[in-house]
């Protein structure tokens, strides 16, 4: 009984009956970010629904004001949520922003943890565009994962747009005026989500643009492999031990093994990212081109903007927004699987061209990770119906497991203490004005 009481208390509205900014009313909790909780809210004057991110003003490392300034700096580009308001209310920092649809993780579950190659390539194109845009604005994200990419509101005009969210761990990697890159450092604690973190981040290197892109590669392979990466489900006594084991598994799994049975473009992508040096500017057009060319080569319809989940959402007229509400068991149609054409192309045993597996560590010295691997821990099944179901079933044992975010030694941001309200003065202090 106590458990239910605690759970109810955890979901209570911290600002019941309050009017945030005089016009927004806080509703039910719909999710959590890297810092703070997310609630659905409503503009009491217009009836427009919004997302409201709430953080205790007494938090040891308050992040919401910082995040709101960064999102304000990013406004105006596709896939960036609109921000309406951010300020302190009572004992909370509150940010009001555009209400979005479900995350890629939610949609993956809606599709029975099976995406077609076509949808994965469409995801890659938009996600890489969002990452490049963030980098062009002098910041890196440092927590790339399916949960941090949401589609536009269901049945809205931007339902086919993928949005990047949760900038609580984002960091400026270069001076906005001189473009002087931050210095390379070692012995850093892991920041981000272990499942998708780059090997360099695991090794304690300061993160840069290359790390965001390597994480994108792991997200894409997560989708290709029906939600089962070789380093998922690892057990350990402590978080540090777990992260170390995840790192060892990543380093000992050759890219060619990770990507076996899938188009060589995925291995080419990951090898390119791993070979980047700390300060290198990635060739984003080349990386997007890998997947665009594959899309064309496969003969997919370039005029069709629908994803695997589109008919499911439209049929259900789902009212999901900006949340981590899971969709397990809510699928009303048969799950879509890899097409016969895709199955033929991806049959196991077909040779794949992939460059030598090398990893750039430190300031760019090239080393070859150990080629040792545990074949039993790596799925190399062809993505046909039976293999997909087997992989999905195996993943049921671990999908509830959360790869915890481990954050320490957060960068000091004195502007948070000196600039408590939203405005251009804050942006200047933050160093994000071009």
Q: Quote the CA–CA distance of 103 and 30 in Å, as a whole number.
A: 12
Query: Max Cα separation, the chain?
Result: 63
The phi, psi pair for 192, rounded to 5°, reads: 125, -160
Q: Which residues of 70-80 are buried (b: 16+ CB within 10 A; e: fewer)?
A: bbbbbeeeebb
Note whether 110 and 291 are within 8 A (CB). no
The answer to whether the annotation marks 53 as part of a ligand binding site is: yes
**Residue 10: burial class (beta carbons within 10 Å; 0-12, 13-18, 19+):** exposed
Helix (H, G, I), strand (E, B) or coil at 88: strand
Active site residues: 143
**Residue 247: burial class (beta carbons within 10 Å; 0-12, 13-18, 19+):** buried
Nearest to 224 by CA among 252, 197, 255, 202: 255
Q: Catalogue the E-assigned strands of 104-177.
A: 139-140, 149-151, 162-164, 171-172
**Binding site per annotation, positions:** 53
Q: List binding-site positions for ATP.
A: 53
């Amino acid at each position: 009984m106590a458990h239910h009481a605690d759970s109810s208390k955890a979901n209570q509205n911290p600002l019941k009956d309050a009017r945030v900014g005089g016009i927004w009313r806080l509703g039910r909790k719909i999710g959590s970010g890297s810092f703070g909780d997310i609630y659905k809210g409503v503009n009491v004057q217009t009836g427009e629904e919004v997302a409201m991110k709430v953080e205790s003003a007494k938090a040891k490392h308050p992040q919401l004001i910082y995040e709101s300034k960064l999102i304000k700096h990013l406004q105006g580009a596709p896939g960036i949520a609109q921000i309406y308001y951010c300020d302190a209310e009572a004992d909370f920092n509150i940010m009001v922003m555009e209400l979005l649809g479900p995350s890629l993780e939610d949609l993956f579950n809606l599709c029975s943890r099976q995406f077609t190659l076509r949808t994965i390539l469409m995801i890659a194109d938009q996600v890489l565009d969002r990452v490049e845009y963030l980098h062009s604005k002098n910041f890196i994200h440092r927590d790339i994962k399916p949960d941090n990419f949401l589609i536009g509101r269901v049945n809205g005009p931007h339902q086919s747009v993928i949005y990047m969210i949760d900038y609580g761990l984002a960091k400026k990697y270069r001076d906005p005026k001189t473009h002087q890159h931050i210095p390379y450092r070692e012995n850093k604690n892991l920041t981000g989500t272990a499942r998708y973190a780059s090997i360099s981040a695991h090794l304690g290197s300061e993160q840069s643009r290359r790390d965001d892109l390597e994480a994108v590669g792991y997200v894409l392979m997560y989708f290709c492999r029906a939600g089962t990466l070789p380093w998922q489900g690892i057990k350990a006594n402590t978080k540090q031990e777990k992260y170390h084991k995840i790192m060892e598994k990543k380093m000992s799994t050759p890219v060619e093994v990770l990507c076996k049975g899938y188009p060589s473009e995925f291995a080419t992508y990951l090898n390119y990212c791993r070979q980047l040096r700390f300060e290198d500017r990635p060739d984003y057009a080349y990386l997007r081109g890998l997947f665009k060319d594959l899309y064309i080569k496969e003969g997919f319809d370039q005029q069709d903007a629908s994803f695997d989940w589109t008919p499911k959402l439209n049929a259900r007229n789902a009212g999901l927004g900006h949340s981590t509400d899971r969709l397990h068991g809510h699928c009303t149609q048969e799950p879509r699987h890899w097409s016969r054409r895709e199955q033929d192309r991806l049959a196991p045993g077909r040779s794949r061209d992939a460059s030598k597996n090398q990893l750039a560590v430190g300031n760019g010295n090239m080393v070859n990770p150990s080629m040792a691997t545990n074949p039993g821990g790596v799925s190399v099944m062809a993505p046909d119906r039976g293999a997909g179901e087997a992989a999905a079933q195996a993943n049921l044992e671990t999908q509830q497991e959360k790869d915890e975010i481990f954050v320490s030694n957060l960068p000091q941001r004195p502007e948070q203490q000196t600039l408590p309200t939203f405005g251009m003065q804050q942006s200047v202090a933050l160093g994000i004005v071009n």
